[in-house]
Amino acid sequence: MTLSGSGSDAAGLFLPSGISSFTVASMKILLCLILCLSAAASGLAAQPKPIPYYFIAVHNEPFNHQQNKFFTDESYGILTKMIAKADAYNIKLTIMLAPHWADYLLSDKDRAAALERWKKSRHEIAGHHHSVGHGNWDGYSALSRQEAEAWRAKAGGHDFQAVYGSETYYGTLTDFTAKLRRLNPEIKSGCMNDEGFKNALPDAIIYDTCSGFANYGELGRQEVDIQPEKGRNEYVSVGTVNGIERKWLTHHFMAKAAPAMQVFSSMRSGVYGTVNHSSPHEVQEFSDYLDFLHRADPQGAKSRTLAQIIEQKLLPEKTLAANVVNDGPAPPAAAPRN
C-alpha cells in the first residue's frame, strides 16, 4: 500500500510529492555528518586531561642510637602498609633504605620474603644516607672517623642522643654501599643528603633526589624540599662528582597532601616527585595523596620509580657547571690526634 501523492525511493522510504531521491540522499549524508561530528565531540569531551608522570620516594631512617630496634619495628610496620596501598593502586614506590635496614630485613625470614615481594612488584630498592651534617646521623661518612667526629662535635652532637643514647661510627661510604648491596646488588638510586656536601654521594649512587637544586625554571637555583613546587621536574639536572656523572630529580617533602595535590593538578607534563617517611606522623597524608593519584590515574599508568624516569628519558637533561655542583661547605678541621 502507498500513500496518495507519495513515491518510494530505492530504499523503500515513502517520500512526499516533490522530494527527489537525490534530495533524500543529500539529507542522509548531512544527517550522517551531524551524527559523526556529535560522536567526535562527545569523545573529545570524555578524554581525561593530561597529567604529569610522578614518583613517590619513601625514606626509611637510620635510627643510629640505642633504641634502634624499637623505632625500626614501628617504621617497618608502617612501611608494609604504605606498600600494600601502593600495590592496590598499581603505584610504584622508590623505597629508600638506610644501611642498618639490610641487617634488619635480612635477619628475619618473613621480612626477607617481604623484600623479595617488593622487588617482584617492581618497586625500586634505593638508598638513604644521613650525613654527619644531619641531626640523625647514620654512622657512615666520606670523612675519616676523626673528621666525622669533629663534624658531630661542631654540630652539637646527635639531636636524639640525650633521650635515646649514643650514636655509633660504622664506616666509610664504601662500607655504606656494601650494606645496601645486600638488599639490591644493582643499587644506583637514593637520597644521599648531598644538598650542601656532594661528597656525601657514594660512587654507586648515580641517580639522586637530594641535590638541593630545583628542576624547574633557572638551572642551579636552590630551593628547600618543604616547598610544594620543589617536586616539579621540568628537566633532570646533571653534574659530575668525584669524576662520576650524576643525575638528579627533585622531590617535595609532603608534610601535607593538599599543597602537593594543587601543584600536581596544575601540571600537564613533566614529572612530580614527593617523599614521605615511614613515620606514624605522615601515614595519613601519604594515604590521602595516593587516593588522589588513583582518582587522577586509575591504572597507575603515569607512576614511575626514580631510575625509570631517568632511564626512560621522560625529561630533557641540563648540565650544571662544576662550580655550582660542588659549591658546598668545607668539612671542619680533623679532631686533634692524641
57-66 average pLDDT score: 86
Among 15-24, 27-36, 329-338, whose mean pLDDT is lowest?
A: 329-338
Residue 330: pLDDT over 70: no
pLDDT at 326: 79
pLDDT at 69: 74
Gyration radius (Cα) of the chain, Å:
29
pTM of the model as a whole = 0.82
Residue 160: pLDDT over 70: no
Confidence of residue 327 (pLDDT cuts 50, 70, 90): low
pLDDT at 244: 96
Among 36-40, 195-199, 288-292, 324-328, whose mean pLDDT is lowest?
A: 36-40
Q: pLDDT tens across 90-111, in order?
A: 999 999 999 999 999 999 999 9
CB atoms inside a 10 Å sphere around CB 149:
17
Residues 6+ apart with CB under 8 A from 26: none
User: Which residue, 170, 212, 205, 221, is CA-closest to 306?
Assistant: 205
107-125 average pLDDT score: 98
Phi, psi (deg, nearest 5) at residue 324: -75, -45
Yes or no: say if 138 and 99 are a contact pair by the CB < 8 Å rule.
Answer: yes
pLDDT at 133: 80
DSSP count for the chain of H helices, then E strands: 11, 15
